Structure 1
Amino acid sequence: MTSLTLTRGATDTRTARATGRRTAWVPTLVLILGALYCLVPIAWVVIAATKSRSELFSTFTFAPGSGLLDNLHDLSTYRDGIYWQWMANSAFYAGLGALLSATVSAAGGYALGRFAFRGREFVFKLMLAGVLVPGIVLAVPQYLLMSELDLADSYWSMLLPSILSPYGVYLMRVYASAAVPAELLEAARMDGAGEFRIFTRIAVPMMMPGLITVFLFQFVGIWNNFLLPYVMLADDTKFPLTLGLYTLLAQGASQPALYTLVIMGCLLAVLPLIGLFLVIQRFWSLDLLSGSIKS
């Protein structure tokens, strides 16, 4: 009786494994299709950037062209290299804005997650409400506010709206509550450490994976932001890449030669984001590994 039961159990296990293998191709196929959907446009930009203007408009193929260096030279010399000014502006807006946003999110999330004070839940729910508000709704009020402060068409008009991220504060509150033990903070206080030192020396290192996530989200969001600079900026020397490439594309209707510059500019605009993801992925792995070792 026992041997018969074991035999039936083994048979059921083999049947379940075979069924699992037969159905595993469905999610795999969905992931492959999703990857193709995301990567094919990028592959087309890479190939199109190598084509000269005649090659770009004559045929639509994925064969590389012969105009890569010429397109890069024309883009670099267009209006005395204004594209690289746009690139520097985007790096400044995204880098400094994401760094300030991560700092504010860390402080706000840590305070909401590890301090009990009157009105804490109200503030937290207010931040959650801010997550639900789309950025397009805030663009015009932010412009009016910056105009009243005489900051419109300035670098501050791009930086100040990017500092506070409701989603970043929410994420850091959740992360601080889960990753920073209250017992460790109490032990530091008993040893005479001040709150600022506890935050910078104990809480921030333990919250680093969450901080990197907030920095990455903010950097990508600011780098790809189009509406805010479109509303705030009038001087094209202050434009980020998104708005600068848009102006080139708009001029391409009357000057078709600019289309190759736009495509080359789009390719170069993607490269910093790819490099950022590769670098930050390394820090993610190190932080998670160090956290598992400490635990």
Structure 2
Amino acid sequence: MTAQPVAERTVPVTTERSRAPKPRRERFAGWQLAVLGLFAVYSLLPLWWVLATIFKDNGQLFSTFGLWFSAPSHLAENMHVLLTRQDGIFGRWLLNSFIYSGATALGGVIVSAMAGYAFSAYNFRGRDSMFTLILMTIMVPGTALVLPLFLMMQKMGLLNTYWAVILPGLVNPFGLYLMRLFWDAGFPKELMEAARIDGAGEWTIFQRLGLPLVRGGLVTVGLFSFVAAWNNFFLPLVAVSRDNLFPLTLGLSVWNQTSSSSGQEPIYTVIVLGALVSILPLIIAFLALGRYWTGGLANGAVKG
């Protein structure tokens, strides 16, 4: 008689991997997401408040919940006041901000690119000491330079002109530092020497060979310079006194002071709407040039 095989009972086996606790990296990832979420809320909450405020009037601003929209909407009314107050001077302030920021960014990029090329391409006496001295000026607060700049512009007769705000922004030590990193990382010395052997002049090497290779650095310095000039407040405050020369930052501040101190009806929601309009060009600039900016920072960081 042949013995039949007995069916074996399958016992679930608990592996060592299932008993082990989650790796520290996985547990830490949850905390990372939570912290990043809190930072995102903290960063976006003021913008949400601005979006909710521009649909209100001054009464609704203080009588309703600040983080939510109110009915009826007063956006069209606020926009009308913004564009027509003082004979539509807001448009002039917007144009002034573009002039100040565009000229400062363009001039700052040219100066930083040429100076960075000089420090990278030429090994002259005292180069490192001079470069270190220039970098030390980054630690000087910008407010400490406003009074000397005011006295210089006064001696030159440039007060109450566009040049009083544009000229000080053309010299950018941090932009010079970035451009030297980009020249060192993106423009091989062998290519420069080969061009010189072929008879190319320094300006041709700089313009036709070098600039296309450091395009990311040019965009990076240009964006930094544009944003700094667009948000500049203290220098225009002391350099220009005519309201038709104010940038947006100074003009909106003057509106806020005059409307609250002269007994007129406050226009807080209109000023908030103007502040929102003033940041739109910066958002557009970063979205349009973001890929060059991030790529340029990565290239500079490799060398730095």
Give the TM-score, by structure 1 length.
0.89
**1:268 equivalent among 277, 284, 294:** 277
**2:67 equivalent among 58, 62, 68:** 62
What's the offset of the Cα at 1:37?
1.6
**1:241 partnered with 2:248:** yes
Report if the CA contact (8 A) 2:216-2:296 is conserved. yes
| Matched length | 280
Q: Aligned residue for 2:264?
A: 255
Q: How does 1:80-229 map to 2 (within 5 A)?
A: 80-229=87-236
Distance 1:179 1:11 in 2: 52
CA separation of 1:256 and 1:39: change in aligned 2, threshold 3 A: farther
What's the offset of the Cα at 1:121?
1.3
Distance 1:251 1:288 in 2: 42
- One-letter code aligned to 2:34: L
**1:20 partnered with 2:8:** no
- One-letter code aligned to 1:272: P
**1:47 partnered with 2:56:** no
**1:232 equivalent among 216, 232, 239:** 239
Report if the CA contact (8 A) 1:251-1:258 is conserved. no
Percent identical residues = 43
What's the offset of the Cα at 1:283?
3.5
Question: Higher helix proportion, which one?
Answer: 1
CA separation of 1:194 and 1:41: change in aligned 2, threshold 3 A: same
Q: Aligned residue for 1:6?
A: none
* CA deviation profile, 1:104-155 (whole Å, cap 9, x unmatched): 1011011101211112112201211111111111000000000000111111
Q: Aligned residue for 2:7?
A: none
**1:37 partnered with 2:42:** yes
What's the offset of the Cα at 1:287?
7.2
SS for the counterpart of 1:24 is: helix
Distance 1:260 1:11 in 2: 63
What's the offset of the Cα at 1:282?
3.7
CA separation of 1:246 and 1:288: change in aligned 2, threshold 3 A: closer
CA RMSD of aligned residues (A): 2.2
SS for the counterpart of 2:85 is: helix
Q: Please, which runs of 5 or more residues in structure 1 have no aligned partner?
A: 1-9, 290-295
Distance 2:226 2:112 in 1: 14
SS for the counterpart of 1:267 is: helix
* CA deviation profile, 1:184-238 (whole Å, cap 9, x unmatched): 1111111211110110111111111111111111111110111100111100100
- One-letter code aligned to 1:60: F
